[in-house]
Amino acid sequence: MELNLIWIFVCLILFTSIFIFFHLRPLKNNEIKQLGNKRRSRQIRQYFSFNNAEFYPNEDLKRTMNPDGSFYNIGEALYDYPSKAAALLKYKKHEWIILAFEKQRKIQLLWLNKGNDNSSASNYLSLEKMSSISQEQKYSSILFFHNHPNPNPSNYSCTKPSLADLKTVDRYSNELNKSGINLLGFICERGKHYEYFRSTSENFIPLSTFINSITESNNISKFKNLLLHLERIF
């Protein structure tokens, strides 16, 4: 047993030494890009992190929800808004949609409308209008919420997107991302939100910022090179 432990320890030391030896070199261009993408993805996840607590609905807004569609000016933290949107759509027997326009981690404008029935989330605001508003007001993102009315929540869940849901957000994102606008899709059921789609524009938290930072740190010293490799791999 002791001999086996010694061999394991020796092998670990040998493996670690070899790994360190081959990772004292500076990062290659493709490795810099790989690490840049990793840092960018991490920062985007931090930007779009959300509160999962349940909220009471905004009663003033709830009373004025226009089935035919209206804009509403608000000022809500991005972190909290998915939970607040879910609260607003709780107990709705028809499908509603909420478009939340975001910049600098603040939701500043909403569009709400009621769907045609309890099985389709009809958005009455055109994609062209969504894009033009975002560009004119310099919004970074649109958060697309809709509810799935569940007649029997004790027996089944309605938290998954339908094929039509996926096709809609895919079509929206293809156009919005070209204009530098992010799109996130959420299903709301029983006061909770479920994110099912996220597509970010290349211009949002651009990769070039991270690549430039890594390039400046690359090859400063062998120890720094090793740290960059460790971050890239692990």
> In the chain, what percentage of residues exceed pLDDT 70?
96
Lowest mean pLDDT of 35-44, 84-93, 144-153, name the range. Answer: 144-153
User: Are 142 and 102 spatial neighbours (Cβ–Cβ below 8 Å)?
Assistant: yes
Q: Does residue 2 have a pLDDT over 90?
A: no
In-domain check, residue 206: no
Task: Report d(CA 46, CA 40) in Å as an integer.
Answer: 10
Domain count, the chain: 1
pLDDT-derived band at 119 (thresholds 50, 70, 90) equals low
pLDDT-derived band at 203 (thresholds 50, 70, 90) equals very high
> Where is 143: in which H helix or E strand?
strand 141-147
In-domain check, residue 56: yes
Decide which of 154 and 196 is more confident.
196
Task: Report d(CA 42, CA 225) in Å as an integer.
Answer: 21
In-domain check, residue 209: no
In-domain check, residue 149: yes
Mean pLDDT of 7-17: 92
Question: In 10 A of CB 102, how many CB atoms?
Answer: 23
> Residue 62: which domain range?
50-199
Q: What are phi and psi of 69, to 5 degrees?
A: 105, 130
What pLDDT does residue 117 have? 65
Q: What is the CATH number of the domain that holds 162?
A: 3.40.140
In-domain check, residue 42: no
